[in-house]
Structure 1
Amino acid sequence: MSKLLRNMLFASAAGAALAACGGGDQATPTTPVVTTPAAKLEDSFGANFGVAYRADPNSVAKDPQPGDIIPLSLTATPVTI
């Protein structure tokens, strides 16, 4: 094997080994990923429907108020379940 070929193989092996090193000592600034929570399904049925739905089963019953429950419509956009 020629000396040039041997040096090229050594250099490429050393380069591959060094490329795998992460450097570890340097702190890299990262931006935290902020995700917004998805809207709950029960909130899409009216203003206070979701609140009443999540209430404790043994709590005091609440009479529906205007706007608590939306009217049904066959032509409205369907709610994905």
Structure 2
Amino acid sequence: VLREEKRQDKPICANVDFYTGFIYDLLGIPSDLFTSIFAAARVPGWCAHRMEELISGGRIIRPAYKSVQPRRLYTPMSERE
């Protein structure tokens, strides 16, 4: 049904939240609470990330990234084709 509505050629990959919403519904939990339960389940992880940021000096550490694209000069929007 979703594939027909969105006209996507590739399959829709459901994550864990798709199934938890289904389980919440089966348990009779009101749909208004789904977002709150979703957030409450993640608060410990969010807190752990924030504590890690504070301990490490507030820097968000990202993996090393090097672009493989050739460098190009910036062209203002008004000059683009």
**Normalising by structure 1, what TM-score?**
0.26
TM-score calculated relative to the size of structure 2: 0.26
Which structure shows the higher helix fraction?
Answer: 2
Higher relative contact order (CA 8 A, sep 6+): 1
